[in-house]
Structure 1
Amino acid sequence: MKTHDERIAEMTFASVYPHYIAKVEKKGRTKQELHQVIEWLTGFDEHQVQAQIDAKVSFKTFFEQAILNSNAHLITGLICGYRIEEIDNPLTQKVRYLDKLVDELAKGKKMEKILRNS
């Protein structure tokens, strides 16, 4: 049986992306704001994100190709019952960083706070 971390690694970014859009748009945020958050975390602009979706890359590949923001470690708190800063698996932690940013966007947090610009 696959572990939680293995399932996350194999999941495609393309399979989760529509859920991110639906989540933020349902709360009155925009796809552009979602892309701003993704770009801040990964360095991928909108075209690069679309290329990742078209290629149906796994989260493992997605984050291997990403250039993680140097302030990503400032993303803390609970997501899906896990404390982000205590997640041992580096890939799972990066995926949870993204989940947390999407959550914060959907909850109406100000962009400066989400992007950890203090």
Structure 2
Amino acid sequence: MRYVNGCLLSKSINGRMEYWDPSNEQSIRSFRVKTGENHCRFDVSLDEAYFCVGTSRGSAVIYKLETGKVMVELSHRRSTKAVRCCAFSRDSRQILCGGQDGFIWRYDYIDDATLDLWAAWRK
């Protein structure tokens, strides 16, 4: 469980996350997350706009808290077992994931301008 924007975000192992208002015990939003039967610690970005959670298939999924939409699913071909923990960096430009297979994965956000610059270097 985690407090986010003055409300409570909780996760169960059955692929559901709930965003609750603790003052009246009502659900604000329910998320059907792609975790499968997975015990994974989730994390919330510092600005409290996104959360990330691992799956039983070895990937991490980032959701937008306000809309419930999947922003991106991060994976690598060598990550094949459950991701047990996810964490945002303080500036939310990296995500670290720890897996059952013993790997620690780091995913970096790279903006479009940087990708264009890298593409020009290859030419």
Higher relative contact order (CA 8 A, sep 6+): 1
More helix by share: 1
Q: Which has the larger radius of gyration?
A: 2
| TM-score normalized by the length of structure 1 | 0.25
